[in-house]
Amino acid sequence: MKKGIISLLLAAGLSLPVVAQEGYQPTPENLKARQEFQDNKFGIFLHYGIYSMMADGEWVMNNRNLNYEEYAKLAGGFYPANFNAAEWVAAFKAAGAKYICFTTRHHDGFSMFNSRYSDFNIVQATPFKRDIVKELVDECHKQGINVHFYYSLLDWRREDYYPLGNSGHGTGRTEHGDFKTYHQFMKDQLSELLTNYGKIDAIWFDGEWDQNVNPDFDWGLADIYSHIHSLQPACMIGNNHHKALHPGEDFQLFERDLPGQNTAGYSAGQTVGELPLETCETMNGMWGYKITDQNYKTTERLIHYLVKAAGMNANLLMNIGPQPDGSLPAISVERLKEMGDWMKIYGETIYGTRGGLVPPRDWGVTTQKGNSLFVHILNLKDKGLFLPITDKKIKQATLFKNGEKVRFQQDKEGVLLRLAEVPTDIDYVVRLDF
């Protein structure tokens, strides 16, 4: 539903005059964080909130026009008895993920952390009373996984999120307000998130597109971005606005598409920039838990997505929607394990690499590290593969999984790999050393 609205706006060429952090000079710590981020390649996205109890995705409040006062009553029954941060993080780590991105506050306005600035939060408004964000971050720090915070710019509940944008018209709030107080509220909450939880590696904004209907709307992002960078200079900023980068951002986001593609309709106005790239995708079809959505992608498809992202110089942020009781869906845990088994063997061809010198093709992609090029063959019906490598002399070619030599011929037009078999592995990786 929302996808349709966004696509329409993009097609109509509507966009906002966004003034972001002009003249932003990243600190050395921030530049280092960007490199580490690119090296990490694989993160887990988590959409978890009181909407999870409705089991119909994170847009349920908007989609069913739920009155904000009635919706708030969900909080009174939110008691995810099986939430166990240590188990979650261990499962992500076992998958080979190097960071998580957690929804600290989604469009419904509910804060999954303790906040002085809104009592509509997990500690004050639920019988659970535990700060899930704190437990999760502590565990990530303990188990050595980086932490990104998702933070919604748009809000379906507050009056001072005004003027209204595309969404949240049926939630019953009064339609007036002073955006200045909302802006200050976001800054205050970001101060909490960046001072109460130790090192946070990124803030991941979402919802800017909601105001595409109000062409003169100013989000005041320059102020927000410099606020974040002043609190934690290394903390990166990404914003899922589906457009080219704004000044002050440290990485570029893509939704349900690899950089340069636009099959999902979100990336029409988005050129691929120079900064680190990340693409997010769901493991089934929905971000927040949806009881009827058991349409989980196969492990092979998920691995292919990760590999293709790496070959296009991007990270994959793969989403899971935890269940109302706080546990992860069993199928997602199974997928995580299978991805982890694959990463244990092939991680070297993904982590720390950059998109390889041979551009992505239908047969697959290449990744590169130092003097090695990893040829990821994902879809080839023949025993031969031609690579247009003209400026590097190949010293040897080996099959990554067992080190066996791969025959090849190189001339001035490129390299012909002569494989011993038609590849059938999930990812048949040939390593070329220069």
| Closer by beta carbon to ligand FHN, 164 or else 430 | 164
Q: What pairs with residue 418 in β-bridges?
A: 384, 407
Token pair 């239908």 in the structure block, residue: 362
Shorter beta-carbon distance to ligand FHN: residue 114 or 240: 240
* Nearest distance, CB of residue 59 and ligand FHN, angstroms: 6
Of 317 and 417, which has the nearer Cβ to ligand FHN? 317
To the nearest whole angstrom, how small is the minimum distance from the Cβ of residue 384 to ligand FHN? Answer: 40
- Name the nearest CA neighbour of 101 among 155, 51, 55, 42: 42
**Degrees to nearest 5, angle at CA 338 with 333 and 339:** 95
SS3 417: strand
With both helix axes pointing from N to C terminus, report the angle between 299-311 and 330-346 in degrees, rounded to the nearest 10. Answer: 50
Q: Judged by CB, which is closer to ligand FHN: 169, or 176? A: 169
For ligand FHN, which is the closer residue by CB, 48 or 287? Answer: 287
Residues 6+ apart with CB under 8 A from 324: 52, 53, 55, 80, 289
Residue placing its CB nearer to ligand FHN in the complex, 256 or 337 = 256
Q: Nearest approach, Cβ of 205 to ligand FHN (angstroms)?
A: 10
**Residue showing tokens 């996205």:** 45
Using CA atoms, how far residue 415 sits from 354, 395, 405, in Å, is 21, 12, 15
Q: Which is nearer to ligand FHN, 2 or 361 (CB)?
A: 2
Question: Minimal distance in Å, beta carbon 182 to ligand FHN?
Answer: 18
Cβ closer to ligand FHN: 182 or 287? 287
Pairing of strands 252-255, 42-46: unpaired
DSSP summary character for residue 170? T
Q: In the sheet where 252-255 sits, what is the strand order?
A: 236-240, 202-206, 146-152, 99-105, 42-46, 314-320, 277-282, 252-255
Residue 326 identity (one-letter amino acid): G
List of residues contacting ligand FHN (CB under 6 A):
2, 58-59, 206, 240, 255, 280, 287
Amino acid at 101: C
Q: Which residue has the tokens 């199974």?
A: 334
- Taking the least distance from each CB to ligand FHN, the nearer of 88 and 287 is 287
**CA distances (Å), origin 22, targets 220, 276, 367:** 12, 19, 33
- Secondary structure of residue 136 in the 3-state scheme: helix
**Residue 1 Cβ vs ligand FHN, minimum distance, rounded to whole Å:** 10
- Distance (Å, whole) CA 251 – CA 272: 11
Residue 338 CB, nearest approach to ligand FHN (Å): 24
Residue number with CB closer to ligand FHN (95 or 280): 280
- Which position has the token pair 């590849």? 423
User: Least Å distance between CB 270 and ligand FHN?
Assistant: 12
Give the shortest CB-242-to-ligand FHN separation in angstroms. Answer: 7
Residue type, 148: H
Please state the closest distance from residue 93 (CB atom) to ligand FHN, in A. Answer: 23
Closest distance between ligand FHN and the C-beta of residue 372, in Å? 33
Least gap, CB of 258 to ligand FHN (angstroms): 14
CA distance 69 to 67: 6
Nearest by Cα to 305 from 293, 317, 295, 296: 317
Nearer to ligand FHN, 47 or 308 (CB): 47
d(CA 129, CA 49) in angstroms, rounded, equals: 14
Residue 349 and residue 77 in contact, taking contact as beta carbons nearer than 8 Å: no
